[in-house]
Amino acid sequence: MITSAEQLTSVTVSTGDPTEASPRLSDSCSTISWHRKGLTMQRLVLSLVCAAVFASALAQTGSSQTAAPRPVSLCDLIKNPKAYNAQWIVVRARVSMAFEDFTLYDRACQDHRSDVWLTFGGDQGEITTYCCVNPRRKKDVDIEVEGNRIPLLRDEPMREFMRVLQTQRLRRPDGHPCAGEECYFYRPVTATLTGLFLAGEDGNFPGYGHLGCCHLLVISRVSDVAADRTPVPAGGQFNCSQDAWSANPRNSAEIKSLLACSRPQEQDCDRDRRTAFTRIAAHWMDHVDASTGHADEYGNATRNSIGSWISADLLTSYVVVEEKGRALPNVSITRHVCVPLLGHGPKPSSDRISCNNYGSSWEDDEVAARLIEGLLEKSQFNEAAAKIAEASKSILSEGDQSWRSGSAKSAALHGLQEQARKWKVVPDTTLQSDACDDASLPEQKNHIVGCGWYSRDGMQVFWLSMQKPKATEGGGASGRTNSWVVTSISATVCD
Provide CB contacts within 8 A for 24, sequence distance 6+. Answer: 53, 57
- How far is 126 from 9, CA to CA, in rounded Å? 10
336, 172 contact by CB (below 8 A): no
- How far is 457 from 19, CA to CA, in rounded Å? 40
Q: Residue 136: what pLDDT?
A: 78
- How far is 288 from 48, CA to CA, in rounded Å? 45
- How far is 318 from 310, CA to CA, in rounded Å? 7
Distances (CA, A) of 317 to 172, 209, 245: 12, 34, 13
Q: Residue 60: what pLDDT?
A: 36
| pLDDT band at 108; cut points 50, 70, 90 | confident
Strands ordered across the beta sheet of 148-150? 13-14, 142-145, 148-150
Of 264-273, 391-400, 433-442, which range is least confident? 264-273
Would the pLDDT of 61 be above 80? no
Expressed in angstroms, the distance from the first to the final Cα of the chain is 43
Q: What tens digit of pLDDT does each residue of 173-209 get?
A: 999 998 778 899 999 999 999 999 999 886 666 788 8
Q: Residue 17: what pLDDT?
A: 36
Average pLDDT over residues 280-299: 91
Q: What tens digit of pLDDT does each residue of 374-404 get?
A: 999 999 988 999 999 999 999 999 999 999 9
| pLDDT band at 430; cut points 50, 70, 90 | confident
Kind of pairing, strands 87-98 and 70-71?
parallel
pLDDT over 70 for what percent of the chain?
82
Would the pLDDT of 212 be above 80? yes
Of 61-75, 244-258, 470-484, which range is least confident? 470-484
pTM of the model: 0.81
Would the pLDDT of 111 be above 70? no
- How far is 139 from 119, CA to CA, in rounded Å? 16
The per-type count for the chain, helices as H runs and strands as E runs, is: 11, 18
The phi, psi pair for 284, rounded to 5°, reads -95, 0
Q: What is the DSSP letter of 177?
A: B
404, 483 contact by CB (below 8 A): yes
| pLDDT band at 300; cut points 50, 70, 90 | confident
Would the pLDDT of 271 be above 50? yes
Average pLDDT of the chain, as a whole number: 84
Q: Residue 33: what pLDDT?
A: 27
Would the pLDDT of 286 be above 70? yes
Higher pLDDT, 415 or 19: 415
Q: Choose the most confident range, by mean pLDDT, from 193-207, 260-274, 277-291.
A: 277-291
173, 165 contact by CB (below 8 A): no
Average pLDDT over residues 469-482: 63
Q: Residue 346: what pLDDT?
A: 97
Q: Residue 66: what pLDDT?
A: 58
> Residue 240 CB: number of other CB atoms within 10 A?
14
Average pLDDT over residues 158-169: 97
Q: Residue 263: what pLDDT?
A: 66
Based on C-alpha coordinates, what's the Rg of the chain?
Answer: 26
Q: Residue 222: what pLDDT?
A: 98
Q: What tens digit of pLDDT does each residue of 307-333 get?
A: 999 999 999 999 999 987 767 778 999
Q: Residue 481: what pLDDT?
A: 58
Average pLDDT over residues 452-469: 96
Q: What tens digit of pLDDT does each residue of 3-54 get?
A: 333 334 333 333 333 333 332 223 333 322 222 223 333 333 333 333 443 4
The phi, psi pair for 196, rounded to 5°, reads -90, 125
